[in-house]
Amino acid sequence: MNRQIAEPNLAATMLRRARLNPRRTALVFEGEETSYAEFGERVRRQATLFRESGLCSGHRVGYLGFNHPALLETLFAAHALGAIFVPLNFRLTAEELTFIINDAGIHSLVVDDALRPVLEPVRSRLCCHHYFGSESEAQGWRHLPSERAAAQPLAAAVSVDQHDVAVIMYTSGTTGLPKGAMLTHGNILWNNINSSLAFGTSRDDIILTAAPLFHIGALNVMTLGSFHVGSTVVLMRNFDAGQALENFERYRATHMFGAPAMFLFMSQQPQFAATDLSSISTLICGGAPVPESLIQVWGERGVSFCQGYGLTETAPFSAFLTSEWALSKLGSAGQPPLYSDTRIVDDNNRELAAGERGEICLRGPNIMKGYWNRPDATAAAIDAEGWFHSGDVGYVDEDGFLFICDRLKDMVISGGENVYPAEVESVLYKHEHIAEVAVIGVPDEKWGEVVTAVVALHEGRDLTIEELRDFAGSFLARYKLPSRLHIVKALPRNPAGKVLKFVLKEELSA
């Protein structure tokens, strides 16, 4: 008999927390506090509304909009019925959204005021049965707040299996059509367990969520886990560096997840030195390696980083570098969490010894079920032994710490030599004139590719390729040195803060 130790439904966990700690603050949004009891009540009413609209277990519910309580309420309401939540990237075009909405087969779609105009021109091409506006009323849109208020609270969340899909999150893939990673209730639960053990979180913590919740890092590194332990989420509609600093001081926030660029922008604010940051337990950083200079800037304010490595497909964390190892293992992504495994393999899928570079493979209860309607892509990504092949290059040292070298697809092959951009970038970030840098390979008839540095400079500074090569020459072999330099105002980034290198390659290869 297949018996589960506990109910894995995320909505059931949240509603149980609402019964256990009804008066505790679950959410703060734009100054308004919502208790667990109030939040649970809204979720139960919205679940009934969805059920009366024909939503059933396995159906998909989408949300398109900026960070808002309605996003989390929609997620939990969907899960209460056994339905699947599909967060949509608000920065996509109407055509891109059309593909994802129809690919996922979204039954009911919740959209905020700002994004309704994006969808209006393509609504006739969408598969959705119901369209809800999450804020104000509008013709042709059902008004979620008023209809929810009129609905009766759902008695209880349905029971689900840990392998049932909870979220379909579409990857931001740099080439081809996006793929929907199917994350199960078990995937999300085990990631929460791994994260809680790594960070030592408790119900007294205050989580500042500023990154967009359609991204797995923002959604499931700390935010969903807070409902697991019963802590408080301070939710920002969107990221603003100055406002984030103000929120740390105002709400005494203890944790925040973000990309390095977010913490860089915060450290560059005029009020950074005067802001009271004493409440911070740790900053959790993912999406890219944290430059040493950024660690030092925050360290001077008494704030440490916990760095993490993971992907959408791993829900997301697959390695943690806690603050105790920040200096002795500088540059490492850390060790696998307690309930996940990592190994490095060669092109023939043979495991490599410590120190040898190869593809990073990951396994554990946090690994996705597969790609939605893409058995071919699933088979290519997850092997017969359950290892997920990340497409990242790295190695494990003698102490079991993982080091990320680069993406396989981002590796530059110049004159037959392999150059890992992340290695070059870590050196260039030490140059005092450079604010941001991305290293890419640009096609070249002689060398195949040439190492090219794209940099954004600090205000009032300049830089030549000769100066850059002279600076980096004492740190890097000659074949790794940039041959070309392009100066830009800012690097193109996706909403998760990752540099869009494919955009740079397209522009410079044209």
pLDDT greater than 90 at residue 451: yes
Check residues 355 and 2 and name the one with the higher pLDDT: 355
pLDDT greater than 90 at residue 57: yes
> What pLDDT is attached to residue 477?
78
Q: How confident is the model at residue 2 (pLDDT cuts 50, 70, 90)?
A: low
Query: How many angstroms separate the CA atoms of 344 and 402, rounded?
Result: 9
Q: Which amino acid is at 235?
A: L
Classified as helix, coil or strand, 49 is helix
> What pLDDT is attached to residue 96?
85
> What pLDDT is attached to residue 45?
99
In 63-132, which ranges are continuous DSSP H helix? Answer: 69-80, 94-104, 116-119
pLDDT greater than 50 at residue 481: yes
148 Cβ neighbours under 8 A, 6+ residues apart: 42, 45, 46, 49
Tell me the pLDDT of the chain averaged across its residues: 93
Check residues 174 and 485 and name the one with the higher pLDDT: 485
pLDDT greater than 70 at residue 173: no
Give yes or no for a contact between 280 and 303, defined as CB atoms under 8 angstroms apart. Answer: yes
CA dihedral 270, 276, 278, 283 (to 10 degrees): -40
Instruction: Average the pLDDT over 8-15 and give the result.
Output: 97
Give yes or no for a contact between 48 and 258, defined as CB atoms under 8 angstroms apart. Answer: no
> What pLDDT is attached to residue 435?
94
pLDDT greater than 90 at residue 413: no
Give the tokens for residue 250.
């105002």
Query: How many angstroms separate the CA atoms of 384 and 372, rounded?
Result: 19
- Please count the other Cβ atoms lying within 10 Å of the Cβ belonging to residue 297: 17
Query: Which of 477, 359, 330, 472 is closest to 414 using CA atoms?
Result: 477
> What pLDDT is attached to residue 175?
43
> What pLDDT is attached to residue 500?
87
pLDDT greater than 50 at residue 485: yes
160 Cβ neighbours under 8 A, 6+ residues apart: 7, 8, 9, 57, 79, 82, 166, 185
Q: How confident is the model at residue 462 (pLDDT cuts 50, 70, 90)?
A: very high
For residue range 214-252, list pLDDT tens digits in order. 999 999 999 999 999 999 999 999 999 999 999 999 999
- What the chain holds in terms of domains, given with CATH numbers, is 10-22+36-161 (3.40.50.980), 187-407 (3.40.50.12780), 411-509 (3.30.300.30)
Instruction: Average the pLDDT over 317-336 and give the result.
Output: 87
Give yes or no for a contact between 69 and 213, defined as CB atoms under 8 angstroms apart. Answer: no
pLDDT greater than 60 at residue 32: yes
pLDDT greater than 80 at residue 409: no
> What pLDDT is attached to residue 4?
64
pLDDT greater than 80 at residue 275: yes
39 Cβ neighbours under 8 A, 6+ residues apart: 14, 18, 26, 27, 69, 73
Asked which of 181-185, 349-353, 419-423 is least confident by mean pLDDT, the reply is: 419-423
Q: Which amino acid is at 382?
A: I
Cα 338 → chain centroid: 20
Asked which of 414-418, 425-429, 470-474 is least confident by mean pLDDT, the reply is: 414-418
What is the reported pTM? 0.84
311 Cβ neighbours under 8 A, 6+ residues apart: 216, 318, 390
